[in-house]
Amino acid sequence: MKNQVRLAQLRVQAMLQIKQLIQSKLEKLNEEQLGQVADYIDFLQFRALWVSLRERESNLAALYSEFDGEDLALAEQGIEEYAEMLRRED
Count Cα neighbours of 48 within 13 Å in the Cβ-side half-sphere: 6
Stronger pLDDT, 29 or 87, i.e. the higher one = 29
pTM, two decimal places: 0.54
- 42, pLDDT greater than 80: yes
Return the SS3 of 12. Answer: helix
The predicted-structure confidence for 15-41, as pLDDT tens digits, reads as follows 999 999 999 999 999 999 999 999 999
Residue 65 pLDDT more than 80?
no
**Average pLDDT of the chain to the nearest whole number:** 88
